[in-house]
C-alpha cells in the first residue's frame, strides 16, 4: 500500500468548470470519501486499507517490460514504466506499477488467463488507462487515470478493486470501467469505483465497438460521474454496434452522480435484468435515468 494513503489527503480535480474536492481519510478498518459535499462510508467495500500491495512487503525497483513467457509469475516489484503482457496464463501480483503512458498495463488481444492481483497501478494523471485488456483483475488499487480498466476481450472478471482519483487531460472521458463492446462474459463484482468528475461514468457498458453478451454487474459501490452507470444498446451512430444481451445489473449501491444513477438505452430491444440497486445516501431504488443533453462520445 502506498504510504501516501496512511494520511488524510486532499486532491482537487480542475478540468471542468465545477471543481470538486475529494477527501480521503484512511483508517485501519474503514475509509470515507467526501464528494460534492456528501461524506460516503466505504465500510464493507474495497478501499485503500484492503487493496493493493499487502502491508510490510519490500518491493524491488524495476523498469517497464514485456512478459512473453507463458505461465510467468511476476511479483514483488516497484515498476517504473509500462507492462505489456503478450503470453497466456501470466500472473502479475503484489507489484506497484507507475507509468505516464497510454497503458500502464496492456494485455494484448487474444491473450488468455491473465491475473493481475493486489497491485497498485498509477497513471500519474496522464489521461491513459491503468489496465487495458482481458483477464482476472482482483483487489487492485487503481488511480490517477482516465480509464481505470478498459475491457478488451472475452472472459473478464473484475472483483474487489478500488478505482479512484480519476484524472487526465481536458479531452479525457472518465470511466472507472470502460467496456465498449466486442466481447462476452464480463463479471464486475464487489468493487469500489469513484469518478470524481461530472462526466462520464463509474461503469460504461456500450456497443460502440461491437456486440456484447453475458454481463453481470453486482454488489458494487459506484460513486460519481455524469451518470454513474451507462448500459447503452444504441441502434445508430456507433462504430460497429450490435446487440447488448444477457446483462444483469443487481444489488449495487450508487451515489454522487451529476445527471442520474443509471442511463439505460435499449434501442435494439434487449432489456437487462435490473434489481436491488439503491441510492446509498437515501436507500431509494435506482430507476433508469433520462438521456443527458449530449450523448457521451468515445
Q: What is the pLDDT of residue 38?
A: 86
The residue-averaged pLDDT of 32-57 equals: 93
Q: Has residue 298 got a pLDDT over 80? A: no
- What's the grid cell of residue 198? 461530472
Q: Give the pLDDT band (50/70/90) at residue 36.
A: confident
DSSP-derived 3-state class of residue 42: coil
What DSSP string runs through 205-248?
Answer: EE-SSS-EEEEEEES-EEEESSEEEEEEE-SSS-SS---EEEEE
Q: What's the CA gap between 61 and 58, in Å, rounded? A: 10
Q: What's the CA gap between 84 and 101, in Å, rounded? A: 12
Please answer whether residues 33 and 40 qualify as being in contact, where contact means their C-beta atoms are separated by less than 8 angstroms.
yes
Q: What's the CA gap between 81 and 242, in Å, rounded? A: 36
Please answer whether residues 203 and 188 qualify as being in contact, where contact means their C-beta atoms are separated by less than 8 angstroms.
yes
The residue-averaged pLDDT of 29-43 equals: 84
Please answer whether residues 151 and 173 qualify as being in contact, where contact means their C-beta atoms are separated by less than 8 angstroms.
no
Q: What is the pLDDT of residue 63?
A: 98
Q: Has residue 29 got a pLDDT over 50? A: no
Look up residue 101 and give its DSSP letter: S
Interacting residues of 82 by C-beta distance below 8 A, sequence separation 6+? 64, 97, 99, 101, 103, 104, 105, 106
User: Considering the chain, what percentage of its residues have pLDDT values greater than 90?
Assistant: 83
Domain boundaries defined on the chain: 52-289
Kindly report, residue by residue over 145-201, the tens digit of the pLDDT.
999 999 999 999 999 999 999 999 999 999 999 999 999 999 999 999 999 999 999
Q: Give the pLDDT band (50/70/90) at residue 287.
A: confident
Q: Has residue 297 got a pLDDT over 60? A: no
For cell 432489456, name the residue.
271
- What's the grid cell of residue 118? 493486489
Q: What is the pLDDT of residue 290?
A: 54
Q: Please state the separation of Cα 165 from the chain's center in Å.
A: 11
Q: Has residue 15 got a pLDDT over 90? A: no
The residue-averaged pLDDT of 231-236 equals: 95
Listing from the earlier edge strand, what are the strands of the sheet with 20-26? Answer: 9-13, 20-26, 31-35, 38-41
Nearest to 114 by CA among 160, 66, 72, 59: 72
The residue-averaged pLDDT of 33-62 equals: 94
pTM assigned to the model: 0.88
The residue-averaged pLDDT of 248-263 equals: 96
Q: What's the CA gap between 139 and 159, in Å, rounded? A: 7
Interacting residues of 81 by C-beta distance below 8 A, sequence separation 6+? 62, 63, 64, 65, 99
Nearest to 199 by CA among 219, 218, 180, 171: 171
Q: Give the pLDDT band (50/70/90) at residue 246.
A: very high
Mean pLDDT over the full length of the chain: 88
Please answer whether residues 173 and 199 qualify as being in contact, where contact means their C-beta atoms are separated by less than 8 angstroms.
yes
Q: What's the CA gap between 89 and 70, in Å, rounded? A: 6
CATH superfamily, region 52-289: Single-stranded right-handed beta-helix, Pectin lyase-like (2.160.20.10)
The residue-averaged pLDDT of 263-274 equals: 96
Q: Give the pLDDT band (50/70/90) at residue 288.
A: confident
Q: Has residue 232 got a pLDDT over 70? A: yes
Is the backbone of residue 81 left (phi > 0), alpha (psi -120 to 50) or beta? Answer: left
Amino acid at each position: 500500500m502506498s504510504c501516501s494513503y496512511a494520511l488524510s489527503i486532499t486532491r482537487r480535480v480542475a478540468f471542468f468548470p465545477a471543481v470538486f474536492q475529494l477527501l480521503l481519510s484512511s483508517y485501519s478498518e474503514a475509509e470515507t470519501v467526501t464528494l460534492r459535499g456528501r461524506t460516503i462510508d466505504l465500510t464493507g467495500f474495497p478501499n485503500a486499507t484492503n487493496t493493493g500491495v499487502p502491508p510490510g512487503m519490500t518491493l524491488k525497483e524495476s523498469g517497464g517490460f514485456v512478459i512473453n513467457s507463458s505461465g510467468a509469475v511476476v511479483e514483488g516489484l516497484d515498476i517504473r514504466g509500462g507492462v505489456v503482457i503478450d503470453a497466456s496464463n501470466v500472473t502479475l501480483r503484489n507489484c506497484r506499477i507507475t507509468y505516464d503512458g497510454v497503458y500502464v498495463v496492456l494485455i494484448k488481444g487474444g491473450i488468455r488467463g491473465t491475473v493481475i492481483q493486489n497491485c497498485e497501478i498509477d497513471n500519474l494523471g496522464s489521461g491513459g488507462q491503468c489496465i487495458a485488456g482481458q483477464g482476472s483483475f482482483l483487489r487492485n488499487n487503481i488511480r490517477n487515470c482516465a480509464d481505470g480498466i478498459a475491457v478488451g476481450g472475452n472472459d473478464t472478471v473484475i472483483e474487489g478493486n478500488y478505482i479512484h482519483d480519476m484524472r487526465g487531460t481536458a479531452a479525457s472521458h472518465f470511466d472507472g470501467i470502460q467496456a465498449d463492446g466486442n466481447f462476452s462474459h464480463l463479471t464486475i463484482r464487489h468493487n469500489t469505483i469513484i469518478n470524481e468528475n461530472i462526466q462520464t461514468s463509474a461503469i460504461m457498458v456500450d456497443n460502440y465497438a461491437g456486440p456484447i453478451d453475458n454481463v453481470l454487474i453486482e454488489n458494487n459501490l459506484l460513486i460519481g460521474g455524469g451518470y454513474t452507470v451507462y448500459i447503452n444498446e444504441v441502434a445508430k451512430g456507433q462504430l460497429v454496434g450490435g446487440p447488448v444481451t444477457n446483462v444483469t445489473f443487481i444489488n449495487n449501491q450508487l451515489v454522487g452522480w451529476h445527471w442520474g444513477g443509471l442511463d439505460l438505452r435499449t434501442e435494439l430491444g434487449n432489456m437487462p435484468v435490473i434489481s436491488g440497486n439503491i441510492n446509498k445516501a437515501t436507500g431509494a431504488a435506482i430507476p433508469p435515468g433520462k438521456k443527458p443533453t449530449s450523448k457521451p462520445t468515445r
